[in-house]
A and B are shown apart, each in its own frame.
Chain A
Amino acid sequence: MKKKVCGNPRIWKDPPGAAMYCPGCQHPVIHRIISDVLEDMGIDGKAICVLGVGCHAFVQVSWDLDILSCAHGRALDSGTAVKRLNPDAIVFTVQGDGDCIGIGAGAFIGAMTRGEKITTIMYNNTNYGTTGGQLAPTTLIGQKTTTTPNGRDAAMEGYPVHTAELAATFRGTVYSARGSLHNAANYQRTKKYVKTAFQKQIDGVGFSFVEVLSACPPNWHLSPTECLKRIEEEIIAEFPLGEFKKDDGTGI
């Protein structure tokens, strides 16, 4: 029996959508992880991907999957209906931090409240990449963005939202984790988180969530290598990595 040891994931169209992204952006790396996990688990044929609005959504040009691209922030509402009407489908949302916990906070909390059997992968690059690097719910205190030119001030703009920790507080959430891609070990760990999240959906126990820290070199005004250093030294201090909840859906 032949076993694939290298090459592109089978759901990557040619040319891969990585071409859409800025040099050093890690969004395509997360796309790659999701692609590999869907292939490894043999669920890409029955997957329906529901997208938000933001850089993450450019993945629709590169994935050979059934894809629904929604209004900004509403992917989890639309995904809810897709899953309720197609219980056998694997329904997952791909969302940025602004899409998921900014404009989409109501949909996110609604889906977790109801324990929708959906998986959400949230790409956290601490700013609004698509529109030119504005303040996001996840922007760090002191971080300069185009709408916080003097750096985020908690007294003015509030505090960064810890989405993975928040998700873990909902009884309807059965899995919540935060991963990073700044080195090979964390790449593998993040892939494991994504796989666990999909497994929870297959088990039908509740909502599963993975937040992934993602570099944004043009808007951070750093080189790709400096971005990785920033993630390791600054961002993880605010957004610690790991699994925040892993249960069997009994609400414990």
Chain B
Amino acid sequence: MTKRMFIQGNEAVGWGALYGGCDAFFGYPITPQNEVTQWFAREFPKRGKVFLQSQSEVGSINMLFGGAAAGFRVMTSTSSPGWGLMQETISHCVAAEVPCVIVLVQRGGPGSGSIRHAQMDYITATRGGGPGGYKNIVLAPASAQEIHNLIQLGFHLADKYRNPTVILTDGILGQVSESVDVQTIDFGPLKQKDWALRGRENQKDGKSRIINSAVGILPLPPYPDYISWLRHIEEKFQEMENAELRYEMYEAEDAELILVAYGYTARVSKEAVNMCRAEGLKVGLIRPITLWPFPYDIIKEKACQGCKFLVIEDSLGLMIQDVRISVEGRTDVHLIGILDRHIPTDGGMIMPVRVIEEIKRLL
């Protein structure tokens, strides 16, 4: 059943989780995602689901580790400094193959940075900020509706691959209110979680289970040693990379200049494209919906056709590195970044007018 609601992006996280079958939320307050934690505190207990405010972000992510290992759909939400604290255990979740969803509402960094919007956690989200070099699918919504939808997809992909999924939003998307169609989305069937911990007597086969993140120290069946297990997770990363790439192409067919942006700056960029197209300028947009896997090949293809690139991201330049990798030096890659906000403060945004100026300069 579909319900239309006028809600904030941060509230869309909650509705998406509820309709996506989330069992428990563990979180710790941090700006600008407090509405997320407050939504779960208000809405989950009365529906018989678990909400718990942990003693820290380290606590939250380790609660996810436990809840997911017990076979439940669990999630947390945080912002940049809290994201930093969670890195260790996200790596453990990957190693132990426990699926969970982590929402990161980015704010300004580094350090405590600002409490306002920015897009400055791209590298730790897409490269894995914890120990050991691992991969998480990173979904980057650009509207409240897409937040609601991608939270549900996030749970599906987490369970499908037994791996954490990251939903990367920002303070603008979190605070903006929009109409959202709230409903359960069917992504197809998943395997039973017969690996989950339930107590031996509650297992169908009556056998005990072990989950650990130290497979190289105490190997678990079916992996006799560290290398065979590493091969297994590498194959899984490859499968994710091959099967889960998502992106939006907008007015890119005949474009001479392509903007590349995600999240709120993709909304800004789309507006700039519309305004430029009205003037007859050949500008398009590639919007990665998955930041990992990243649409390297499609950007490369456009570079081979002679397109120039302009990256719009509210940072000092992070995703631009992936665009540079994609074009392999064939063409120029330019940046509109956090220093190009219309008002040079922590509250200023990158606005379409600044993007259009740059487009006209480059074309």
Contact = CB atoms under 8 A, between A and B. Distances in A.
Contact of B65 (A61, A70, A89): A70
The residue among B23, B26, B54, B55 with the most chain A CB atoms within 10 A of its own CB is B55
A45 B199 contact: yes
Given A66-B208, A71-B213, A47 B199 contact: yes
B89 A67 contact: no
A79 B199 CA distance: 13
Contact of B197 (A61, A77, A82): A82
A65 B66 contact: no
A45 B198 CA distance: 9
Contact of B62 (A60, A61, A64, A78): A78
A106 B63 CA distance: 13
Interface string A68-101: 1111001001111110111001100000000000
Given A61-B218, A77-B66, A82-B70, A106 B56 contact: yes
B199 A66 contact: yes
Which interface residue of B63, B64, B201, B213 has the most chain A CB atoms within 10 A? B63
Contacts of A192: none
Interface residues of B, number: 40
**Chain A: number of interface residues, binned into ranges:** 35 or more
Contacts of B23: 85
A218 interface: no
B74 interface: yes
A48 interface: yes
The majority secondary structure among interface residues of chain B is: mixed
A126 to B, nearest CB: 24
A109 interface: yes
Contacts of B202: 45-46
A106 B58 contact: yes
B64 A81 contact: yes
A84 B24 contact: yes
A110 B54 contact: yes
B67 to A, nearest CB: 4
Nearest to B201: A45
11 contacts: A45-B200, A66-B200, A69-B96, A69-B218, A70-B62, A78-B66, A81-B24, A81-B26, A81-B72, A86-B198, A109-B55
Interface of B: 23-24, 26, 50, 52, 54-56, 58-60, 62-67, 69-70, 72, 74, 88-89, 92, 96, 197-203, 208-214, 218
